[in-house]
A and B are shown apart, each in its own frame.
Chain A
């Protein structure tokens, strides 16, 4: 069983939503990423989304754009990201790691080369933001052959026939983008999200994570009640930007713990089990 599937099975017995923090690999410097990944786990992360920096992150807001710029300025390369996962795996064999980023660096490396290297490093899934199922071709199958779950986005405007298509192409989990716009935008409408998730669940048994617009413990707790996973990116990356390097680990651990406590206390199991 894959780490991602095992993780969601465990969570379903605990009746709790997963917490999936996102950080950009190499931000602020490559040497800090592995330590930050362990800090995320220590704070209570269930799955880690690790961003692969790209020069032209078209779907990202300013916070994650700046993280990409910092990582690239510090010399981060795609192979370094894979190496960070490999190092992380030496101490943590359990926490799933999903790589998130844009297509071009992977296309340049070669899909087969990337898939092999990611598998060897201990990566569990890949979310390529600018690769919709219409363009995925054999890449999804190639990834699955290398034990990488292809993770796809769904949005408020995704139509039923495409929801179906995306659900068929995906494995591991699905990532629902909770609002129109780029990462880090404001205003989350929990009721609208709940309705769309109900629609998506007609087509799939896969767990559904919700991201874009979750800024703090309160919004994380709200989303945890209606989804299988809560993805927090910009709010965390903003803290990395604002924190002096010496305090990074503590700040990140504390913020993730705050989110995790908010999610756990909202778990339906506490009230109904």
Chain B
């Protein structure tokens, strides 16, 4: 990149918005964020009701920041419960522990005195996303309206700097050229009266923000990106993930975490895993350029990552193998697994056979009826398939039952989870085992096309194939990422499985994530034509990627997926799994909007042989 490529416009936040009209005008003029003041003593304070009206009125892509000053934690939580805030901003003497306790990304405001050491404060608030530097005026907290001496800002700040304090249309250009901040924050400087913004002043202010090279985007640092440092030690991806289990599971999970941390860096373990991935699974899986289909759709070039060509026919084996090798190292003699459609059960039974481990697979009684062939495959492989008759008798209940087995038999048993859900360390561990998909694909695309793809597409149930593809691309900001959920019979019908599109955050199966639930917090039953996507939750890392905007989550219906299933089969001679057909269906919509010079990489996560009966039945054919 040339220096010109690094020029960006600093992000703009208009703070102290008190009414929807001002919010709409600020958005139309091009602000990146608005600030709502939840501090009663401020003339710009808003009530929860006012805040809700403002948020309701906002167009998409505007970040809403809630400003607090030494507030009671319960008040902050109450506001968070009622107002969709994207970020918190703390202006008082709050401690780092307090700021982090809300599990939301936050900005810490610093009132600048001549002796303030900005980088020392940055170290005190390691989780803060940025520091907002404001002027110190005795007795005044929040918007002071006067500038401070910008010379006190360190040349190499440890955190992105948001410049505030006395900014106005008159001084903004000079301020940005002098400080080169990550962002700027204005309130009083664009008002006609306290709490009432002036459209002309806002327009002049935003126009006055010049392009600059912000300190925080200076490349070539060795510090890992925010994506590489997730999750934290307790498994949190932002506010999601974590360890929400009964006390009886805490020690087994701690032991698993310890073992995984040890072996993931153990050269012998890595060598054994690599050997099996190559000779047993058949990796690397190829990338295939779907030329006929691309031409027919008349847009971007479509490339397929062929996880369907793995041993057992899907990506599931990558993580099942990794976990089974870990089980062996931990001295466990028995593995258990949950399965919905049976693919993860088959993968687990396969690696258990390969390693000589006892294997029990939990499967909902309803799913056993629907997936007789996979049940028989597991039994052929020597696994015991146990029918789960509690709850809705599907995948989520199989997961509950496997957890119950694990807690009872933890001494000799390893629980192989099939997706990037569950309590820490499962979401991170399964992701790491699946990330081989994206690592291979990134190198293969560079080799085949000389550049990175413009977009990635993968289906998301729990989301393991998707995170496996996405993870190695997260730092490549120019690569757009699309996770495709199952819209079933439509997002407005309740007959779907799209928590990221139509659910709410909650706690299930050991982690906080987006969930499908009713209005009493009870988990809903889901529907999808594809059993592998028929799950009410989603991996917590996806929830986080959604909230921070790095990935887009869309949904396609049963009919659209079925249509793509037929298209790929007839045009390219590849029968895709119904799960993967969801990713293909979205690709079918996306490709025509791009040019033939651009490319889309789709994770073809599994083969469709297992779905032939389902498709035939839908078309009224008896096989």
Query: B-contacting residues of A (Cβ < 8 Å)?
Result: 54-59, 61-62, 65-66, 69, 72, 77-78, 102-113, 129-132, 134-135, 137-138, 141-142, 145, 152-155, 157-159, 162, 166, 177, 180-182, 185
Q: Specify which chain A residues have a CB less than 8 angstroms from the CB of B101 in the assembled complex.
A: 137-138
- The CA of A109 and the CA of B397, in the complex, are separated in Å by 24
B196 at the interface (CB under 8 A from A): no
Chain B nearest CB: distance from A179 CB in Å?
9
Q: Which residues of A contact B504 (CB under 8 A)?
A: 108
A159 CB contacts on chain B under 8 angstroms = 251, 254
How many of B's residues come within 8 Å of A, CB to CB? 44
In the assembly, what is the distance between CA of A138 and CA of B78, in Å?
12
Chain A residues, Cβ within 8 Å of B74: 112, 138, 142, 145
**Inter-chain contact A155/B390, CB cutoff 8 Å:** no
Contact code string B96-107 (vs A, CB < 8 Å = 1, else 0)? 000001110000
Q: Which B residues lie within 8 Å of A131 (CB)? A: 244
Partner of B247, one of A138, A154, A181: A154
Nearest CB in chain B: distance from A117 CB, A: 14
A79 CB, min distance to chain B CBs, angstroms:
8
Between A and B, 27 residue pairs with Cβ closer than 8 Å are A55-B391, A59-B404, A61-B404, A66-B390, A103-B244, A104-B507, A106-B521, A107-B507, A108-B517, A108-B521, A112-B74, A132-B244, A132-B247, A137-B101, A138-B101, A142-B74, A152-B247, A153-B246, A153-B248, A154-B247, A155-B246, A157-B252, A158-B251, A159-B251, A166-B247, A177-B248, A182-B407
A130 contacts B245, CB within 8 Å? yes
Does B296 have its Cβ within 8 Å of any Cβ on chain A? no
What is the minimal beta-carbon distance from A111 to any residue of chain B, in angstroms? Answer: 6
Chain A residues with CB below 8 A from B517, complex form = 104, 108
Q: Across the interface, do B521 and A58 meet the contact criterion of CB distance under 8 Å?
A: no
When C-beta atoms are compared, the residue in chain B nearest to A130 turns out to be: B244
Q: Is B29 an interface residue (CB 8 A)?
A: no
Query: At the interface, yes or no: B476 with Cβ under 8 Å from chain A?
Result: no
- Whether, in the assembled complex, B304 has its beta carbon less than 8 Å from a beta carbon of chain A, the answer is no
- Chain B: CB-nearest residue to A111: B77
Is the contact region of chain B dominated by helix, strand, or loop, or is it mixed?
mixed
Q: Residue on B with the closest CB to A72?
A: B522
A66 to B101, CA, bound (A): 36
Assuming A58-B509, A78-B520, A103-B244, what are 20 further A-B pairs, CB within 8 angstroms? Answer: A58-B510, A59-B245, A61-B404, A65-B390, A69-B391, A102-B507, A104-B515, A107-B506, A107-B507, A111-B77, A131-B244, A132-B247, A132-B250, A135-B242, A138-B74, A141-B73, A142-B77, A157-B248, A159-B251, A182-B408
A132's partner among B77, B245, B506 (CB-CB below 8 A) is B245
Known: A59-B246, A111-B77, A141-B73. A103 touches B507 (CB 8 A): yes
Instruction: Type the 1/0 row for B408-448, where 1 means its CB is closer than 8 Å to any CB of A.
Output: 10100000000000000000000000000000000000000
Residues of B at under 8 Å CB distance from A?
73-74, 77-78, 81-82, 101-103, 234, 242-248, 250-252, 254, 390-391, 396-397, 400, 403-404, 407-408, 410, 504, 506-510, 515, 517, 519-523
| Most chain B CB atoms below 10 A, which of A158, A162, A182 | A182
Closest 10 CB pairs of A and B: A108-B521, A105-B521, A157-B251, A153-B247, A59-B246, A181-B408, A138-B73, A55-B522, A110-B81, A155-B248
Q: Are B523's CB and A55's CB within 8 A?
A: yes
Q: Chain A residues near B244 (CB, 8 Å)? A: 103, 130-132, 135
Cβ contacts under 8 Å, A105 to chain B = 520-522
CB atoms of A108 and B77 under 8 A apart: no
Q: Which chain A residues lie closer than 8 Å to B506 at the CB level? A: 104, 107-108
Say how far B394's CB is from chain A's closest CB, in angstroms. Answer: 11
Closest to B100 in A: A137
Q: Which residues of B contact A162 (CB under 8 A)?
A: 250
Given contacts A56-B396, A104-B506, A157-B252, are A112 and B77 in contact (CB under 8 A)?
A: yes
Q: How far is the CB of B77 from chain A (nearest CB, A)?
A: 6
Q: How far is the CA of A166 from the CA of B246 in the complex (A)?
A: 13
Which residue from chain B places its CB closest to the CB of A110 in the assembled complex?
A: B81
- Give complex CA distance A55, B234 in Å: 26
Given the complex, which residues of A lie within 8 Å of B520, measured CB to CB? 77-78, 105, 108
Using A69-B391, A157-B251 as known contacts, say yes or no to A180 and B407 having CB atoms under 8 A apart: yes
Q: Is the CB of B251 within 8 A of A58?
A: no
Among A69, A102, A107, A166, residue most surrounded by chain B Cβ atoms (within 10 Å): A107
Which of B234, B396, B522 has a CB less than 8 Å from the CB of A134? Answer: B234
